[in-house]
Amino acid sequence: MTLSRRSFLAATSAAVAACALPGRAWATYDQSRFPGFKVGLQSYSLRGFDVDKAIQLAGDLGVAHLEFYSAHFPLNSTDEQIAAMKKKMSDQGMVILGHGVNSFSKDHAANEKIFKFAKAAGIKNISADPAPDSFDSLDKLVDKYDIRIAIHNHGPSHRYNTALDVLNAVKPHDPRIGACADLGHFIRSGEDPVEVIRLLKGRLYGIHLKDFAEQKERTEGVILGKGHLDTVGVFRALRQVEFPVDGCLSLEYEENPKDPVADIRECLEIASEACQTAAS
């Protein structure tokens, strides 16, 4: 990758931090890397590692938060396990802003268990694939717990394929029921991620930063900006729609699960460059 002057300076700063604190590429979350945003990581990106190693690697990468998936942070965790997880994250200078993708049905009691877990863990955003008959239950739960539901799109053939599919599903419901826009899957669906962000204004509570090589169902994930993702345009659009400060903005890199760290680091550098350009 050819580095601009800004990327070079950022990389140099990272090297200094790494020397000062062995094992940490970024000592703490550097807000100047992502002006106006808290950028985190979907822990599925580190699914090839156990949760302790995943947290340590995420800390080394200097992300602001983790959005956990269930294999790393099970929904049936005890109060003691939840407290231990929060401490592990705090020790790495991170918080837990999101969890998912979780399924919801018309079973209100089962749905509420997920909300109770999220409340205990301090999680504000649950990315979700809710069944159509779950929304009456979800309306009650988002009001009771003040936790957002963010519908996650999964690309072609999924019930929430396009941005309009998501928007039409949430419009009649509590405004805390909105979208977690997986930008890569919207690319697979032939949609423009920048326009998706604008369309979902006011209902956008999560982002999965992701890129794919082609706009079709079967394609390969790539480093951000190497496929169809306009990374600068994404951050400009997020500013325009006033993406919430406690929303869950996560890089999700699905390739090379056994050794993804170098690729994730490159994606973060590209996202940082794009965010700074969008802010200038």
CATH class of 40-278: alpha beta
The per-residue b/e assignment along 183-194, b for 16 or more CB within 10 angstroms, e otherwise, is bbbbbbbebbbb
SS3 65: strand
**Whether residue 196 has pLDDT greater than 80:** yes
Q: Distance (Å, rounded) from C-alpha 148 to C-alpha 118?
A: 10
Average per-residue pLDDT in the chain?
91
Q: What is the C-alpha separation between 172 and 31, in angstroms, rounded?
A: 36
Q: Return all residues near 109 (Cβ < 8 A) that are at least 6 apart.
A: none
pLDDT above 70 coverage of the chain, percent: 90
Asked if residues 98 and 68 have their Cβ atoms less than 8 Å apart, the reply is yes
**What pTM, to 2 d.p., does this model score?**
0.89
- Domain segments of the chain: what residues? 40-278
Q: How many CA atoms lie within 13 A of 255 on its CB side?
A: 15
Span 68-91, pLDDT tens digits: 999 999 999 999 999 999 999 999
- Whether residue 251 contacts residue 271, with contact meaning beta carbons closer than 8 Å, is answered with yes
The pLDDT of residue 263:
98
Note the pLDDT tens digit of each residue in 89-122.
999 999 999 999 999 999 999 999 999 999 999 9
For residue range 54-68, list pLDDT tens digits in order.
Answer: 999 999 999 999 999
Which pLDDT band holds residue 168 (cuts at 50, 70, 90)?
very high
pLDDT at position 17 over 50: no
Q: Where are the alpha helices (H) located in the chain, listed in sequence order?
A: 5-20, 51-61, 79-91, 108-121, 135-145, 163-170, 183-188, 193-199, 231-240, 261-279
235 pLDDT band (50/70/90 cuts)?
very high
Predicted confidence band at 44 (pLDDT cuts at 50, 70, 90)?
Answer: very high
Q: Point out which residues pair with 250 in neighbouring strands.
A: 40, 208
In this predicted structure, what is the pLDDT of residue 10?
Answer: 44
